[in-house]
Structure 1
Amino acid sequence: MMVHALLFVLSLGGFICLALAMERHQRDLCGHTFAQHRSRQWRVAGWALLLLALVMAVLAQRVGFGLASLSGHTSVAAGVVVLALMLRARQRP
């Protein structure tokens, strides 16, 4: 059970970082865009978290079940981030 929580949190963190690497979401969430090197850092952090989730899934659950499990966790995490961004956009005047 802890493996599933860890995979979800890593996936969620990865997609949040990837969202913050995009200029549109930076403007929507922070009101301004970040410097190019800061956006690159967010992008690298996002992919690193997703890669870490992949490694943890394969080590904990073997290749077959680990990849299937990770696919589900990343899908739900991406959906949560998209819904949060949509709700945030609707709250803005």
Structure 2
Amino acid sequence: MVHALLFVLSLAGFVCLALAMERHQRDLCGHAFARRRSRQWRIAGWALLLLALATAVLAQGVGFGLASLSGHTSIAAGVVVLALMLRARQRP
């Protein structure tokens, strides 16, 4: 159950960080957000990643938790990148 939670937190964090970037905002929404909104997405993304870190360390210990989190964040980042690539290819 901890692995699913770590993956979901990591995935949500990277989605928020992607939405904080002007390029991805334009690609996904058609316009750039205000600076305040971008900052809020960035803060939310980092907060979710820090929450995932705390969850991993508390549930699995420092050694295994950090190794586990590394794997989950790598897979989550890959999923976000692939989703952004597929979205870009679908647009005419």
TM-score range relative to shorter protein: over 0.9
Identity of aligned residues (%): 89
Two-structure CA RMSD over aligned residues (Å): 0.1
Residue 54 of structure 1, CA deviation: 0.1
Where in structure 1 do 4 or more consecutive aligned residues deviate above 3 Å?
A: none
CA distance in 1, matches of 2:38, 2:4: 27
Report Cα offsets for 1:40-92 as digits up to 9, x if no partner.
00000000000000000000000000000000000000000000000000000
Aligned to 2:24: 25
Counterpart in the other structure of 1:88: 87
Q: 1:91 is aligned with what amino acid?
A: Q
Matches within 5 A, 1:39-50: 39-50=38-49
Q: Which whole-Å CA distance do the structure 1 matches of 2:45 and 2:6 have between them? A: 14
Task: Using structure 2 for the length normalisation, give the TM-score.
Answer: 1.00
State the match for 2:14 in structure 1. Answer: 15
Unaligned runs of 5+ in 1: none
- 1 CA distance for matches of 2:35 and 2:43? 12
